Amino acid sequence: MKMTTEEAFVKTLQMHGIEHAFGIIGSAMMPISDIFEPAGITFWDCAHEGSGGFMADGYTRATGKMSMMIAQNGPGITNFVTAVKTAYWNHTPLLLVTPQAANKTMGQGGFQEMEQMRAFADCVCYQEEVRDPSRMAEVLNRVIMQAHRNSAPAQINVPRDYFTQVIDIDLPAIVGFERPSGGEAALDQAAALLSSAKFPVVLNGAGVVIGGAIPASMALAERLSAPVCCGYQHNDAFPGSHPLFAGPLGYNGSKAGMDLISKADVVLALGTRLNPFSTLPGYGIDYWPTDAKIIQVDINPDRIGLTKKVEVGIVGDAKQVASSILDKLSGTAGDENRDARLNLISTTKSAWAQQLSSMDHEEDDPGTTWNERARGAKPDWMSPRMAWRAIQSALPREAIISSDIGNNCAIGNAYPSFEEGRKYLAPGLFGPCGYGLPSVVGAKIGCPDVPVVGFSGDGAFGIAVTELTAIGRKEWPAVTQIVFRNYQWGAEKRNSTLWFDDNFVGTELDTQVSYAGIAQACGLKGVVAKTMDELTAALAQAVEDQKNGITTLIEAMINQELGEPFRRDAMKKPVAVAGIDAADMRPQSGS
């Protein structure tokens, strides 16, 4: 069939059902964007490509459907790097389309020229450049299939002079595949370990959400009467109302989960690479059960045994593996100490719930006084934990929420729970700032009838604030965004109090800036909440306003208390050896 290369490109997108593209328009992509509309593809033109990438991540994580990122070659494409690497560690299958400078002039240092394949080599699971116009559809089809197979972003690089060419091709076939279900010997060994376990614990990761394995993990946990913990930032990997749910591990997670998993003799790590943030000590508790036998299930064999000593490794789909293990359990599996274990799960959860509900303030480390001073400076302002409790009072149970990187968002790690997967969009282990707003916008595009609420600290939000200039247009859906306003980069400030004697370099923000005012200037609704009651009421109204197409930004005014540092394990107090003196500075001569 004769067609143009851009027609071949878009027809391949249609074959795969890719209906949404995120980015900023550029001349190099215009041949395909010109035919997006008749193809049924919506182009969401954001304010910055990095935010567009986060929108694509949020859309795909909320829906399970692939979306794409595209922009102008060179600087437009390089703005995607952070978002693509974020999606890689979020295990999000995305299509990255990178129009390239023309083959005719590549290597001459021309306008907007960049080695785009090298820029993304460490950010994608697969990348390929189109080598001839006749291979446009073939390469694109393969890149999309690789993204699906690896559950990660994949890149197609297209020299811009390969568009607007007439070719004679057949569109390629989509080759389906069956995900591995684990080897029989490994499944038998895992079932035997769990059948004889005195205190089995299940640890659900992102693979449980991505693979639709929550019901299968629930059936297995119920058969064993095993508590179920979730990995860091995967609070939606098990129903929060279930009596076996013990909460998230890791930074500012659930003490109940930490206490229960510390007693495990067998841990089934289901659909998780056991990333370090999911097992680091929390609240001063080194809870990981070093003597327990670990069964690790992951679709990627390279990640099994990478961070923890593993007794049994199973390469497979979390849903299929959980179901197979359940079928292979002995008739007495879970019987030993079942009643005592269930009672312990209940009492441990109850004790933690009571403690969490009474936690108003952050503690200071010995020798530091910042949190005490912060409370004294603004005694009438909400603390971060007060703000989170106020939010919980108004947050709809069915809502999709997003979080950002930062101290106040991290303090909230233990609070939200969900009844189903694909509800909690956190920035993940690449840890980018500016994720909260754009990711929840992407989620709303994919789930227009579900309430969405984004969360950011004021430092991180400053990176995404430009999106307020884009999302107020009539074609964009309404969202709610909460900004924790304390005028500081909190995570870095906590590091400064602990290891650098309150030497706050670059941690202070401009107190004259009003994010609510900026929202209003962009035609959106901006609200300031100073008390718990005001915050609860503002959020309830904002969620209601979403139904009427009104986007609301809520500035939650909080004091400057600081939660736990992200990485006690990665820092230590410096000592002076040679010494530094400003007198040693030599002036440059200039030109």
The tens digit of pLDDT for each residue in 543-559 reads: 999 999 999 999 999 99
Average pLDDT over residues 457-463: 97
Predicted confidence band of residue 177 (pLDDT cuts 50, 70, 90): confident
Residue 225's beta-bridge partner residues? none
Q: Is the pLDDT of residue 434 over 90?
A: yes
Q: How confident is the model at residue 122 (pLDDT cuts 50, 70, 90)?
A: very high
The pLDDT value recorded for residue 567 is: 79
pLDDT at 246: 98
Residue 431 has pLDDT above 80, yes or no: yes
At 106, the pLDDT band (50, 70, 90 cuts) reads confident
Cα gap 17→63, rounded to integer Å: 13
Q: Would you place residue 251 in the very low, low, confident or very high pLDDT band (cuts 50, 70, 90)?
A: confident
| CA nearest neighbour of 15 among 66, 59, 56 | 66
Q: Is the pLDDT of residue 103 over 80?
A: no
What is the structure's pLDDT at 522?
Answer: 98
Looking at the predicted structure, is the pLDDT value of residue 105 above 80? no
282 vs 377: which has the higher pLDDT = 377
Mean pLDDT of 125-142: 97
Residue 306 CB coordination number (10 Å): 13
* Pair 402, 571: CB distance under 8 Å: no
Answer whether residue 109 shows pLDDT above 80.
Answer: no
Mean pLDDT, residues 424-450 taken together: 96
What pLDDT is recorded for position 570?
Answer: 85
Mention every residue, 6+ apart, whose C-beta is less than 8 A from residue 405: 427, 431, 432, 433, 435, 460, 491
- Residue 188's pLDDT is what? 98
* Cβ-based neighbours of 147, under 8 Å, separated by 6 or more: 66, 93, 94, 95, 125, 126, 153, 154
Percent of all residues in the chain with a pLDDT value above 90, rounded to a whole number: 93
Q: What is the pLDDT of residues 11-41, one digit of tens each?
A: 999 999 999 999 999 999 999 999 999 999 9
**Band of residue 112 on the pLDDT scale cut at 50, 70, 90:** confident
Q: Looking at residue 278, what is its pLDDT?
A: 84
Both structure tokens of 169? 């091709």
pLDDT at residue 110, as a whole number: 74
To the nearest 10 degrees (0 to 180), the angle between helices 318-328 and 214-224 is 30
- Cβ atoms within 10 A of the Cβ of 480, count? 29
Per mean pLDDT, which range of 155-164, 453-462, 582-591 is the poorest? 582-591
pLDDT of residue 370: 96
Give mean pLDDT, residues 137-157.
97
Per-residue pLDDT band for 577 (boundaries 50, 70, 90) equals very high
Decide: 419 and 462 in contact? Cβ < 8 Å.
no
Backbone angles phi, psi at 484, to 5 degrees: -80, 115
Tell me the H-state helices in 333-383: 338-358, 370-377
Q: Each residue of 487-523: pLDDT tens digit?
A: 999 999 999 999 999 999 999 999 999 999 999 999 9
* pLDDT higher than 90, residue 590: no
With a cut of 80, say whether residue 319 has pLDDT above it: yes
d(Cα 522, Cα 502) in Å, to the nearest integer?
37
Confidence of residue 268 (pLDDT cuts 50, 70, 90): very high
Query: Does position 294 have pLDDT exceeding 80, yes or no?
Result: yes
**Residue 213 pLDDT greater than 90, yes or no:** yes
